[in-house]
Amino acid sequence: MSKSKKLWPWLLVVLMLVLTPFASSFPDGLERVADDLGFTSLEKNAGVSLMPDYTIPVIEDGAASTIIAGIIGAIILLLIFWAVDKAVRIHKQNMR
């Protein structure tokens, strides 16, 4: 796989990350229905969350906070699939 072929999806991911602070803050479909039908208040806070609502509590600026939270989430998912990749490779070697 040539380098440019790997580059494109990453460009899209970076572009979307830059756009995340501009995401609409209107309630989404389910939340709007909950608001209209009056059961939003049933929502419970399940204790502590490290990065509630895609913000990092320590970072004051909303935009930077959201972008960094997005980067952290993406890195965690990449690490998970990196581990899966390693496991699949080891499995294939053992099968040989």
Contacts with other proteins by CB under 8 A lie at: 1, 4-6, 8-10, 12-13, 16-17, 19-34, 36-37, 39, 42-46, 49-55, 60-63, 66, 69-70, 72-78, 80-82, 84-85, 88
Q: Which residues, at least 6 apart from 38, have a Cβ–Cβ distance to it below 8 Å?
A: none
8-state DSSP, 26: S
Q: Which residues, at least 6 apart from 55, have a Cβ–Cβ distance to it below 8 Å?
A: 62, 65, 66, 69
Nearer to other proteins, 60 or 93 (CB): 60
Least separation, in Å, of the C-beta of 71 and other proteins? 9
